[in-house]
Chain A
Amino acid sequence: MNGVLLIGEPDSLMDALRAKLSGLPVAVHELGDHAPAGAPVGRPDGDRQGSAVAVLDAWDMSIAPIDRIIFGPVAIEHDLPRTADDIERLALAHETALLSFLMQLQAAGRLLARHRGGQIWVITPDQSARYLVPISTSPIDTMARRAAVKSFAREIRRMDVLVNCLEVQLEFDQVPADQWRTPRNRTNVYASRFRKSPATSVAGFLCGLLAQADLPMSGLVVPVGIGLTEQSI
């Protein structure tokens, strides 16, 4: 593992990942509105501005070699809309988010394929958690991303690029302790020994996968959780 690029906005997992990766002998770069300006990130002028796709297309591996790219989740409001304006806003939000992701995924794959391959991981929150706690991501966007990853993985494997999704249920961590009793009890119908998955543990698990040079998985949605995950209910 030479370098890792994190694409997305800050959340508990991205923060934990950054912290875990900082303990490894690997360069970590970030792409997103929050990323600090000025530092070289693979472009000769050190410019982070412009679209993520443009930055990926212009990435200079001789300045900042990377072979791991991680896409964080995107929050999309998904309350049931009632007015024509609200319907359009929701549809457009999904259209924009998915198109943006697909274009970035394409650019990320192109970048790694040109430079001896690597791993791409797409973080997709466990959507079954919606029945228990409020979550910020949309099942529409999530399922679309997973299907895109499964398809793309088939195309790009021969170029030594592995693409997978990590299914996480970090929303449970965000429920205040005094409000946790009800959702916790509801998980008992599925698994009495349900445990939250702390972001640091999930980040550690992902770092292990990132570090494995001969990772034996691609085109998968890898669930992370104890006692209850979306695909094992």
Chain B
Amino acid sequence: MTPPSTILITGASRGIGASIAEHLAAGGHRLALCYRSDRGAADQIAATVQAAGAEAEVFQADMSDPQETRELPARVAARFGGIDAVVGNAGMTKDGPFFTLQADQISSVIRTNLTGTLRLLLGALPFLEQSAAGRIVLVSSLGGVYGTDGQVPYSASKGGLIGVTHWLGELLGPKGIGVNAVAPGFIETDMTAALARERIQPFLDVSALRRIGKPEEIAQAVRFLLEPGYVQSTTIRCDGGFAR
């Protein structure tokens, strides 16, 4: 990613996605900021990264809509002339005891987080293959690595993303396309803000760093994985030393 590149980021209007966009802005990249519903927030992030030297445009797409998701890469490529990297960050959760979750709730999580991302990546593949150094970075989760109670569908979807990393990493590696993932632990975002502090604190107490993570700390890891290198099919755990 050292030379200016076109990077498509999903879930870019807030939280980790917004932080990734801000972190990449200084590199002078062309950023395609994808959002689902909050146009105002996406515009705000676009303005921030433009002020920092990046070119940016916002794209609306609902990751649970198969056609919108498959077609998003072509819209981005039409605007920027190609795509060099995809950061698959969009995600949602329906938490609760597994016994209480209905099929439509489970389905919406799987469709948005896992198969939506899968459709997006496969739609972007022709453009990544034309890039000199195509890169894919997926934002998985601690739940995908070791599981979390109350988040069975979410964990399954994020575990599936680790599987996507293994699958595409093997298939696309010989083409020079890097495929990796990060697995954040508890990070200061809207998603974790909705959780009760007493739910989070025990996790923090048994992690090596004993504190909640910041979105920019995930963005650092994503930026590293966007650089050309020898890392492939790997999931970097950014969890303050929780998983061990």
Contacts and interface: CB of A to CB of B under 8 A. Distances in A.
Interface of A: 78, 80-81, 84, 87-88, 90-92, 94-95, 98-99, 102-103, 106, 109-110, 113, 127, 130-131, 138-156, 219
B195 to A, nearest CB: 15
Nearest to A106: B98
A91 B159 contact: no
Nearest to B118: A91
B150 A139 contact: no
Contacts of B171: 80
Contacts of B145: 147
A91 B111 CA distance: 9
A151 B156 contact: yes
Interface in B70-104: 70, 97-99, 101, 103
Interface stretch (B31-39, B47-55, B161-169, B203-211): B161-169
B71 to A, nearest CB: 9
A131 B128 CA distance: 23
Interface string B118-152: 11001101000000000000000001111111111
A78 B171 CA distance: 11
B159 A146 contact: yes
Given A80-B171, A143-B166, A152 B152 contact: yes
Interface of B: 66, 70, 97-99, 101, 103, 106-107, 110-111, 114-115, 118-119, 122-123, 125, 143-153, 155-160, 162-164, 166-167, 170-171
B106 A103 contact: yes
30 contacts: A78-B167, A80-B171, A84-B70, A84-B123, A87-B123, A88-B119, A91-B115, A91-B118, A94-B160, A95-B107, A95-B110, A102-B106, A103-B103, A106-B99, A106-B101, A138-B163, A140-B114, A140-B160, A142-B163, A144-B159, A147-B143, A147-B159, A147-B162, A148-B155, A150-B146, A150-B147, A154-B147, A155-B98, A155-B149, A219-B147
Given A91-B118, A155-B98, A148 B156 contact: yes
Given A147-B145, A147-B147, A99 B107 contact: yes
A59 to B, nearest CB: 16
Contact of B119 (A91, A109, A131): A91
A198 B107 CA distance: 36
Nearest to A88: B66
A94 to B, nearest CB: 6
List the 8 closest pairs (A to B, CB-CB), nearest first.
A147-B159, A150-B147, A143-B163, A144-B160, A151-B147, A154-B149, A140-B163, A148-B156
Contacts of B103: 99, 103
Most chain B CB neighbours (cut-off 10 Å) among A102, A109, A153: A102
A187 to B, nearest CB: 16
B149 A139 contact: no
Contacts of A152: 98, 147, 152
Most chain A CB neighbours (cut-off 10 Å) among B97, B107, B151, B155: B155
Nearest to A78: B167
